[in-house]
Chains A and B, each alone.
Chain A
Amino acid sequence: QVKLQQSGAELVKPGASVKLSCKTSGYTFSTSYMSWFKQIPGQSIEWIGMIYAGDGGTGYNQKFKGKATLTVDTSSSTAYMDLSSLTTEDSAVYFCARGWLTIDYYFDYWGQGVMVTVSS
């Protein structure tokens, strides 16, 4: 079955960077899209960006350009997101999710989420 397994919780200092991972199984990663999301507990969900594993092509929400960088390793079926120059406003739960294009674009399988806490 399809699984997306994210890395563990992170505690990072302001100004630092962090790299989150999302290891997949159960489907053909190399021809799929992966998106990343930010959710502050108790709030809504923001789409950060997406990457096509086939060629590494990316698309970002303008709000997160310069903050997030998406990459993939097709040999391990893993997607990554680098978050840079972290501030307390980046403290949130981050999810990865497989993109599913029908007539429109949805997200059918999600990782369990990872809490990133930015604190000195």
Chain B
Amino acid sequence: DIQMTQSPASLSASLGETVTIQCRASEDIYSGLAWYQQKPGKSPQLLIYGASSLQDGVPSRFSGSGSGTQYSLKISSMQTEDEGVYFCQQGLKYPWTFGGGTKLELK
């Protein structure tokens, strides 16, 4: 199975600050990566797919980049509603696997 490792496990950011979350795959996943946001008590919401494509309805302050085994999610200007846990998921090979999550809080 492909292992997904996220860093950091948690971080706090001020309003308007730029936030970056990293995700590393145990093998090349050829940009087959998605990012999800999960708020407390809610289901995950797809933000980014194909490493850099923005899902419909997701604010443009979210962006994804990367290739090979290294990927990142950037929030260009932290907002209150961006608090939550972010997960990466590889979509290349079955079984589909997720990173451990990054908890983002407002400072």
Contact = CB atoms under 8 A, between A and B. Distances in A.
B50 A102 contact: yes
Provide the main secondary structure of the chain B interface: loop
Interface stretch (B17-25, B75-83, B84-92): B84-92
Given A95-B43, A110-B43, A110-B44, A62 B87 contact: no
B95 A47 contact: yes
Interface residues of A, number: 23
Contacts, number: 63
Contacts of A9: none
B34 interface: yes
B100 interface: yes
A84 B51 CA distance: 36
B45 to A, nearest CB: 7
Given A44-B99, A47-B96, A103-B50, A108 B55 contact: yes
A95 B38 CA distance: 12
Nearest to B51: A104
12 contacts: A44-B87, A44-B99, A59-B94, A100-B49, A102-B49, A103-B32, A104-B49, A106-B34, A106-B46, A110-B45, A112-B42, A112-B43
Interface of A: 35, 43-47, 59, 61-62, 95, 97, 100, 102-108, 110-113
Interface of B: 31-34, 36, 42-46, 49-50, 55, 87, 89-92, 94-101
